[in-house]
């Protein structure tokens, strides 16, 4: 191993350890004030005689993270998701949030040290990578919360198995749930206690609606709803003599098992793709240093404008590919958006100047463009208003325009800096210059810089004026005619490069073009999410079939109740189902017909037609009798559909995930080596031919 690399690793490790020690000391000092009183109540009974209690530490670390401006935003985002899973368990919510923040902080410090070590001297690249690390932190936090959610889902399988045994013993839904809820070792016990409280409340229907809003997943919603219906209307025997309630529990369990397998397979397929998509930007400087070290003739490319622009391009590509890969893996296309009260877009839109500018770009209500954008937002289950969406578009355009101008300006500074700092000498294609050669070449550069400083502001300089300036400079006083021609050609080339390094009109036009791309970026992102949602349509329709299969055998269940359940658990088809529910009172058959005309997915059309038949002609059980008789077929088809979905996502994910890595080695290493090498060889052959 290179001694310098080993030295930096040791220094980085010491730095990380020192930062952790300092952080612990700061936390210990800050946690001795009034803010720890509530923490003391939370950890009552958890204290031990050990020197360092992690339970207490996590509670204190949580309070400290809430106070620190850098981490406060992340902690609040964690709370919003964890408190839904933990159901009013403040101690557990704070502990899990602190555990995640501690792990993320350690990883963030290590990555930060690695970025500083790998980009030393290149401050622009360092800042970009640090910004990318901030995005990475949010993704890591989201992944850790998803892991907790997946663990809860796996617990629910055992939870429902225990419910079955308890129901056999008590033959009462609420008593069975209460019995299983006493198992404090299971995290899902808190959900069971809440469902039990709902069932025994004075107004269980209203309390059930409240629970639907805070339930961590749809399977617990289904369980709570089926338990309520069974308690209200009683259990009944199915055709084979088995309990209908237990059969419905079995259906929900099978749905959970299918979902768990799907998530596990997606995690397995995408477990390394996100890292593969993000890692290449950490090795930009490593590849650059290796190429320059092995092939010195590439120094002009990597240290010049083209090399800088190539780095920026790879960073942008990496960011885009990373975000798309995460959306594929996390199933963000079908995850129901959370309602956020008073987002920043609303606060910004309330300002009159901003409102005036945004309204200039808003399409007129009822226009083709308005309907197109509104429909796209509905198709992706976006909770943004169209005004807020156009705020995002304008902000993306402005940021893209400014960043492009900034990158162009910095690229020109790179060009000028290269001419002023790069050693001037002719050397071999392979290998590096010796120390004496490099010293001599650097002296030539310094001598040329004297003339450049004197002439760079004269844009109309003539050949005579430049030669006079060369002779007037002390390093080149008394040059012979032959030497003058060589020096003149060299300095004239440098001077033209320096004088041309300014912001040009077409570069401003290019920045506007990138700004336009930024303006359409949010629309393209919604289109991508829509395509991903379309891949999930079959999966959601099969969930509808399971819900109908559970409800159709319960007495007093009607079509309107089925529609309400479908609306509650729908995501992709939520909008048309909601309109159907709202219009149901004015005419059931007409409302269903309107819904059928809005959709084109054949399997869902069959469900709507069966609902229409159940409204006017036959009982619900007979309308959906094929769901019961073909249950095994639908289960196998569901599994095959998931396999096909995962396969398609894996194929798309691999293309997107490996794009930055391929670009790094092909576009940033191999292509420059080949092109510059061939150009250098052509120049060498031309020089040899001239000498002959």
pLDDT at 236 over 50: yes
543-570 tens-digit pLDDT:
888 888 888 878 778 888 888 888 888 8
User: Average pLDDT for residues 681-686, to the nearest whole number?
Assistant: 71
Q: What band does 375 get if pLDDT is binned at 50, 70 and 90?
A: confident
* Greater model confidence, 675 or 517: 517
Look at residues 31, 333, 281, 274 and name the one whose alpha carbon lies nearest to residue 143: 274
Helix axes 284-294, 305-329, angle to 10 degrees: 140
Q: What is the pLDDT of residue 352?
A: 85
User: Average pLDDT for residues 201-208, to the nearest whole number?
Assistant: 88
User: Average pLDDT for residues 489-511, to the nearest whole number?
Assistant: 83
In sequence order, the 6+-apart residues with CB closer than 8 A to the CB of 219 are 153, 156, 252, 255, 256, 259
pLDDT at 341 over 70: no
Angle at 414 between CA 412 and CA 418, to 5 degrees: 120
pLDDT at 31 over 60: no
* Greater model confidence, 327 or 121: 327
From CA 282, how far away is CA 200, in angstroms rounded?
A: 57
Among the residue ranges 4-13, 81-90, 120-129, 175-184, the one predicted with the least confidence is 4-13
- Secondary structure of residue 295 in the 3-state scheme: strand
Among the residue ranges 240-254, 410-424, 559-573, the one predicted with the least confidence is 410-424
Percent helix, strand and coil across the chain, each to the nearest 5: 80, 0, 20
Is 438:423 a contact under the CB 8 Å cutoff?
A: yes
Q: What number of CA atoms fall less than 13 Å from residue 406's CA on the CB side?
A: 10
Dig out the tokens for 352 from the structure: 């009159």
Range from 11-15, 340-344, 480-484, 507-511 that averages highest in pLDDT = 507-511
45-68 tens-digit pLDDT:
444 444 456 778 888 888 888 888
Percent of the chain with pLDDT over 90: 2
Q: What is the pLDDT of residue 7?
A: 53
Q: What is the pLDDT of residue 398?
A: 93
pLDDT at 26 over 60: no
Q: What is the DSSP letter of 336?
A: P
User: Average pLDDT for residues 656-673, to the nearest whole number?
Assistant: 88
In sequence order, the 6+-apart residues with CB closer than 8 A to the CB of 607 are 541, 544, 545, 548
Question: Using DSSP, how many helices (H) and how many strands (E) does the chain show?
Answer: 32, 0
In sequence order, the 6+-apart residues with CB closer than 8 A to the CB of 227 are 173, 174, 177, 195, 199, 245
Q: What band does 233 get if pLDDT is binned at 50, 70 and 90?
A: confident
pLDDT at 12 over 80: no
For residue 575, give Cα distances in angstroms to 212, 582, 599: 18, 11, 11
Is 333:536 a contact under the CB 8 Å cutoff?
A: yes
Is 522:392 a contact under the CB 8 Å cutoff?
A: yes
608-618 tens-digit pLDDT:
888 888 887 77
252-270 tens-digit pLDDT:
888 888 888 888 888 887 7
Beta partners for residue 544, in sequence order: none
Among the residue ranges 100-104, 166-170, 394-398, 641-645, the one predicted with the least confidence is 641-645
The whole-angstrom distance between residue 603's C-alpha and the CA centroid of its chain comes to 32
Neighbour count for residue 167 (Cβ, 10 Å): 23
Place of tokens 């990578």: 129
Give the CA radius of gyration of the chain: 33
Q: What is the pLDDT of residue 18?
A: 60
pTM metric for this prediction = 0.70
Q: What is the pLDDT of residue 397?
A: 92
From CA 282, how far away is CA 661, in angstroms rounded?
A: 11
Q: What band does 690 get if pLDDT is binned at 50, 70 and 90?
A: low
Dig out the tokens for 286 from the structure: 């490593």
From CA 488, how far away is CA 483, in angstroms rounded?
A: 8
Look at residues 81, 103, 124 and name the one whose alpha carbon lies nearest to residue 20: 103
Q: What is the pLDDT of residue 339?
A: 46
Look at residues 24, 55, 27 and name the one whose alpha carbon lies nearest to residue 42: 55
pLDDT at 401 over 60: yes
Q: What band does 428 get if pLDDT is binned at 50, 70 and 90?
A: very low
DSSP-derived secondary structure for 220-251: HHHHHHHHHHHHHH---B-TTS-BHHHHHHHH
Dig out the tokens for 508 from the structure: 């401003």
Q: What band does 347 get if pLDDT is binned at 50, 70 and 90?
A: confident
Q: What is the pLDDT of residue 22?
A: 60
For residue 362, give Cα distances in angstroms to 374, 525, 645: 12, 19, 36
User: Average pLDDT for residues 449-477, to the nearest whole number?
Assistant: 80
* Average pLDDT of the residues of the chain: 79
Residue 649, classified by CB atoms within 10 Å of its CB into exposed (0-12), middle (13-18) or buried (19+), is buried
Q: What is the pLDDT of residue 517?
A: 92
Range from 21-35, 553-567, 635-649 that averages highest in pLDDT = 553-567
Q: What is the pLDDT of residue 334?
A: 37
User: Average pLDDT for residues 594-611, to the nearest whole number?
Assistant: 84
Q: What is the pLDDT of residue 9?
A: 54
pLDDT at 427 over 70: no
């Amino acid at each position: 191993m290179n001694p310098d690399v080993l030295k930096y690793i040791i220094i980085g490790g010491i730095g990380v350890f020192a930062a952790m020690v300092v952080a612990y000391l700061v936390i210990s000092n800050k946690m001795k004030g009034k803010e720890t009183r509530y923490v003391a109540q939370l950890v009552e009974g958890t204290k031990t005689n050990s020197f360092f209690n992690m339970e207490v530490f996590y509670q204190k670390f949580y309070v400290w993270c809430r106070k620190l401006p850098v981490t406060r935003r992340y902690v609040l985002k964690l709370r919003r998701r964890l408190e839904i899973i933990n159901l009013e368990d403040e101690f557990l919510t704070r502990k899990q949030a602190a555990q995640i923040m501690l792990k993320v902080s350690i990883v963030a410090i290590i990555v930060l040290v690695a970025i500083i070590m790998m980009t030393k001297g290149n401050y622009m690249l360092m800042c970009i990578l640090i910004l990318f690390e901030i995005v990475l932190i949010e993704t890591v936090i989201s992944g850790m919360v998803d892991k907790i959610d997946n663990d809860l889902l796996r617990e629910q399988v055992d939870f429902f198995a225990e419910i079955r045994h308890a129901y056999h013993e008590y033959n009462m839904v609420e008593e069975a749930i209460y019995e299983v809820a006493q198992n404090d070792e299971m995290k899902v016990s808190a959900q069971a206690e809440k469902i039990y409280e709902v069932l025994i409340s004075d107004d269980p229907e209203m309390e059930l609606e409240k629970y639907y809003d805070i339930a961590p997943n749809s399977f617990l919603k289904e369980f709570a709803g089926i338990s309520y219906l069974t308690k209200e209307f009683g259990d009944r025997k199915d055709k084979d003599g088995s309990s209908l309630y237990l059969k419905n529990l079995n259906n929900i369990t099978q749905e959970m098992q299918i979902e768990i397998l799907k998530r596990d397979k997606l995690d397995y397929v995408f477990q390394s793709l996100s890292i593969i998509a993000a890692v290449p930007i950490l090795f930009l400087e490593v590849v650059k240093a290796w190429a320059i070290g092995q092939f010195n003739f590439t120094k002009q490319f990597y240290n010049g404008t083209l090399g800088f622009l190539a780095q920026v391009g790879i960073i942008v590509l990496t960011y885009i590919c990373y975000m798309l890969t995460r959306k594929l893996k996390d199933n963000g296309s079908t995850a129901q958006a959370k309602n956020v009260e008073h987002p920043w877009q609303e606060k910004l839109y309330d300002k009159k100047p901003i409102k005036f500018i945004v309204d200039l770009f808003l399409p007129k209500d009822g226009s083709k463009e308005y309907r197109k954008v509104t429909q796209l937002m509905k198709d992706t289950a976006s909770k943004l208003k169209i005004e807020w969406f156009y705020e995002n578009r304008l902000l993306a355009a402005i940021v893209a325009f400014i960043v492009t101008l900034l990158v162009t300006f910095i690229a020109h500074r790179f060009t000028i800096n290269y001419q002023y700092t790069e050693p001037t000498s002719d050397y071999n294609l392979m290998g590096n210059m010796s120390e004496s050669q490099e010293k001599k070449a650097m002296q030539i550069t310094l001598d040329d810089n004297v003339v450049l400083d004197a002439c760079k502001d004269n844009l109309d300089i003539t050949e005579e004026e430049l030669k006079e300036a060369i002779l007037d400079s002390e390093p080149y006083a008394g040059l012979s005619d032959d030497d003058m021609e060589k020096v003149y050609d060299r300095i004239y080339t440098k001077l033209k490069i320096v004088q041309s390094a300014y912001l040009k009109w077409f570069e401003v036009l290019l920045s506007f073009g990138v700004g336009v791309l930024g303006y359409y970026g949010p629309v393209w992102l919604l289109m991508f999410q829509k395509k991903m949602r379309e891949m999930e349509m079959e999966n959601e329709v099969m969930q509808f079939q399971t819900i109908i299969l559970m409800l159709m055998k319960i007495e007093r269940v009607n079509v309107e109740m089925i529609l309400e359940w479908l609306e509650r658990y729908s995501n992709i088809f939520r909008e048309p189902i909601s309109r159907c529910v709202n219009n149901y009172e004015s005419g059931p058959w007409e409302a269903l017909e309107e819904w059928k005309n809005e959709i084109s997915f054949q399997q869902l059309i069959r469900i709507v037609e069966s609902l229409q038949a159940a409204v006017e002609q036959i009982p619900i059980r007979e309308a959906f009798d094929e769901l019961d008789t073909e249950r095994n077929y639908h289960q196998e088809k569901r599994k095959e559909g998931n396999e096909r979905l995962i396969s398609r996502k894996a194929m798309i994910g691999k293309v997107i995930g490996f794009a930055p890595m391929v670009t790094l080695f092909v576009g940033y290493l191999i292509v420059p080596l080949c092109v510059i090498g061939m150009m250098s060889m052509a120049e060498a052959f031309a020089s040899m031919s001239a000498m002959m």
